[in-house]
Amino acid sequence: MSNKMWGGRFEDGPDAIMEEINVSIDVDRHLYAQDIAASKAHAAMLAAQGIITASDAKNIAKGLDTILSEIVADKFTFKRALEDIHMNVESRLSELIGPAAGRLHTARSRNDQVATDFRLFVRDTIDAIDAALAGLQQALAERALEHADTVMPGFTHLQTAQPVTFGHHLLAYVEMTARDRGRFSDARKRLNESPLGAAALAGTSFPIDRHATAKALGFDRPMANSLDAVSDRDFVLETLAASSIASVHLSRIAEEIVIWTSPLVGLVRLSDKFTSGSSIMPQKRNPDAAELVRAKTGRVIGSLNALLIVMKGLPLTYQKDMQEDKEGAMEGFAAISLAIRAIAGMVRDLVPDEARMKLAAGEGYATATDLADWLVRTLKMPFRDAHHVTGRIVGIASKQGVALHDLPLKDMQAVEPKITAAVLDVLSVEASVKSRVSYGGTAPKNVRAQAKAWLKRLEKEQKSGRSR
């Protein structure tokens, strides 16, 4: 049997392999809500423009509502023979309301339909991801405030570099997440134009009102070029690109959690809620959730790569290749959404070992820069000379196997006679972080102010109900 939606000139049905490669219902069924919303807007516009009768439009809307409730209640039978969501909905509509269903497709095509549905879907996805990212920022900022004074080692090259505060470290991710949200919000602005009414590719001869359908669906305006409207998927690419960058941030904090919780490092502990045991080694507490967040990044970046490759070299306008835009993208969006929630959960769950952090912060002569800065400030030494003097003092301390603040003053004075006992004030890790008061620096008072400002901003955003 040929397809009743488009099979007028077909005598035979598809080969089984043709059906298998052509079918998209398993994926695009997830667009049902958007598909029905767009069809309702289209039908109302057709009636308002006198293209179909008001009574047909009413029946179409009623039928579409019934279909929506059937799908939501899991009572809808999706048919693979009908290929995709658009034809499944239309076919069911004709069962429900008869011939009027056939008028719904006036002045549109599946090409503008799928572009519209997927724009709406990606828009909803952006809003959900944005809300999840705001939740992550909230968790990070709360823990940052709690740990504004908690001293930990700061690293470069994964070598102990200078003492920082744990709160400051967490706030770094709040900033990254803010930029991630900015990228999603930029993508949302550009995608929020309606392809509906571009029809197959050239527009239509019917007197449609694309501004009306755009408005009804919450788009800012109709897309200005019908060829562009049905043929680009840059809105998916852009959102996947934003997702990829955000995933890289999530992967980095995930990796830090893996490092911090390793017994070799022991800076942080995760509870039973976010770890798992080993089936053979009873002592193990594995940070599986963090490892999986790290791994999900592959899926997200993979979905961006896959779609870039699908789209490159496609001539205008719609090509069936583009049907492959949805599966990977949906998988990528699902992966990042879960990863955000998992990281937020771990950020709330983790408990830093403050004593171990403080001890580790002082290891490896982490306050050497503070000594050099003291020589510059107090003895007016040029920084390069101070660096050299400090290096020699560190060498002596290291030979004796003691920390800088435990090195006898006379040993320091052997290198630089003008050093006084006042230097001891700057050599503790607490003094070190406290002194880093430059804007954006790690001093506890900076961290407290930044964390509070973020919490206030997030609360305001929550109240206004919108981040944009």
For residues 31 and 375, which CB has a smaller minimum distance to ligand ARG in the complex? 31
Residue 411 to residue 283: CA distance in whole angstroms = 45
Q: Rounded distance, CA 395 to CA 397, Å?
A: 6
Q: How far apart are CA 43 and CA 32, in angstroms?
A: 16
113 vs 177, beta carbon nearer ligand ARG: 113
Q: Which C-beta is closer to ligand ARG: that of 157 or that of 320? A: 320
CB of 316 to ligand ARG, least distance (A): 14
Smallest gap, in angstroms, from Cβ of residue 114 to ligand ARG?
A: 4
CB closer to ligand ARG, 19 vs 406 = 19
Rounded to 10 degrees, what is the CA torsion of 50, 53, 59, 60? -40
- The nearer residue to ligand ARG, 131 or 201, going by C-beta atoms, is 201
Q: What is the DSSP string of 30-73?
A: GGHHHHHHHHHHHHHHHHHTTSS-HHHHHHHHHHHHHHHHHHHT
375 near 416, Cβ under 8 Å?
Answer: yes
Q: Is 163 helix (H, G, I), strand (E, B) or coil?
A: strand
Give dist(CA 236, CA 310) in Å, integer.
Answer: 12
Least distance between ligand ARG and beta carbon 213 (Å)? 18
Q: How far is the CB of 10 from ligand ARG (least distance, A)?
A: 14
What does residue 164 show for φ and ψ, rounded to 5 degrees? -135, 180
At closest approach, how far in Å is the CB of 260 from ligand ARG? 44
**Which of 318, 374 has the CB closer to ligand ARG?**
318
Please give the backbone phi and psi of residue 195, each rounded to the nearest 5 degrees, phi first: -80, -15
Instruction: Tell me whether residue 261 or residue 303 sits nearer to ligand ARG (CB atom).
Output: 303
Among residues 157, 205, 279, 464, the one annotated as catalytic is 157
Q: Would you call 337 a catalytic residue per the annotation?
A: no
* 135, amino acid identity: G
Tokens of 356: 């171990």
Number of H helices, E strands in the chain: 18, 6
As given in the structure block, the two tokens for residue 298 are 């592959």
- Cross-strand pairs, 276: 286
Contact 150, 354 (CB under 8 A): yes
Question: Smallest gap, in angstroms, from Cβ of residue 28 to ligand ARG?
Answer: 6
Distance in Å, CB of 3 to ligand ARG, minimum: 11
Active site residue 211: no
Which residue number, 111 or 138, has a Cβ lying nearer to ligand ARG? 111
Interatomic CA distance for residues 279 and 281, integer angstroms: 6
What are the structure tokens assigned to 94, written together? Answer: 């004709």
From the CB of 326, what's the least distance to ligand ARG, in Å?
Answer: 6
Q: Which residues bind ligand ARG (CB under 6 A)?
A: 24, 28, 84, 110-111, 114, 318, 320, 322-323
Task: Report the distance separating Cα 427 and Cα 352, nearest Å.
Answer: 23
Q: What is the dihedral of CA 343, 347, 350, 351, to 10 degrees?
A: 160
CB 109 within 8 A of CB 90: no
Two tokens at 86? Answer: 């658009």
Residues 6+ apart with CB under 8 A from 150: 165, 166, 167, 352, 354, 357
Please state the closest distance from residue 74 (CB atom) to ligand ARG, in A: 22
Question: For residues 111 and 367, which CB has a smaller minimum distance to ligand ARG in the complex?
Answer: 111
Question: How many other CB atoms are there within 10 angstroms of residue 281's CB atom?
Answer: 8
Packing angle, helices 444-464 and 166-191, rounded to 10: 30
Catalytic residue among 2, 69, 271, 278: 278
Which are the catalytic amino acids? 157, 278
